[in-house]
Amino acid sequence: MLRPRIIPCLLIHKGGLVKTVKFADPKYVGDPINAVRTFNEKEVDELIVVDIDATRNNHEPNYKMIANLASECRMPLCYGGGVNTIEQLERIIGLGVEKVAISAAAVYHPDLISQAARRVGSQSVVVVIDVKTAGSSRRPEVVTHNSTRRSGLDPMTFASRVESLGAGEVVLNSVDRDGVMKGYDLELIDQVRNVISVPLTVLGGAGSHTDLSDLVRRHGIIGAAAGSLFVFKGKYRAVLINYPNRNEKDAICSSRP
């Protein structure tokens, strides 16, 4: 039986694990490998790891780091950051990563999506759509390069397009809610969910198990991803890797409509 997925998202900056707020001011929170080992023990559903330096600085993916993460990871792993070619994507899959996420490349080189779907299968091709309200209209817009470049693209239109090109999953990431921990952008999620049929994972804003439950109650089978929720604890945001225990997870997943 299919169930909602509860997914920690780890951000890598200068080789370390960090957390950002609205894609800015990265705060060091630990060693990525240690975090993966802890999440192994907690039996998480899936893990997303994003190198936030690679695309912005036009760097190749750090294959040694990816190989180390993949060798430690006991759950499905999705890696993103710096992937611009089919050769890079295939090399990452060859390191033992189940899914490869592309973001800027999906905007500027959308043919990569269809190439990747043919070569490694749609199930391994994830498109991350970073969305920020921009301009005087305050309309949601797809942004890239850690929100430093505006694309002019409407998120709903873009989500529909990447599905038609062969993306097997969409990760919808709200820049405005990143690290704020005040709840997901449910309206934006509704709009994107209504135009695609592939699996959807959402990121940006989760600050409590209630936020996860509210999302699952609204959308059922969905990926509920979070960063701050799983690396901070308490009102003072002390660094502590955490994840719902079995009973908590069952309660969240039973919120399905």
> Which amino acids are annotated catalytic?
130
Contact 229, 181 (CB under 8 A): yes
| 178 burial level (CB within 10 Å; 0-12, 13-18, 19+) | buried
Q: Is 19 helix (H, G, I), strand (E, B) or coil?
A: strand
Query: In the structure, how many helices (H) and strands (E) does the chain have?
Result: 10, 14
Scanning the structure block, which residue is given the tokens 């038609």?
A: 164
Chain centre distance of CA 73: 16
Residue 221 per-residue DSSP state = S
Residue 14 burial (10 A CB sphere; 0-12, 13-18, 19+): exposed
Pairing of strands 5-13, 47-51: parallel
> Do residues 171 and 177 touch, judged by C-beta distance below 8 A?
no
Compute the Cα dihedral for 90, 93, 98, 100 and give only its sign.
negative
d(Cα 257, Cα 253) in Å, to the nearest integer?
Answer: 10
Sign for the pseudo-dihedral over CA of 94, 98, 104, 110: positive
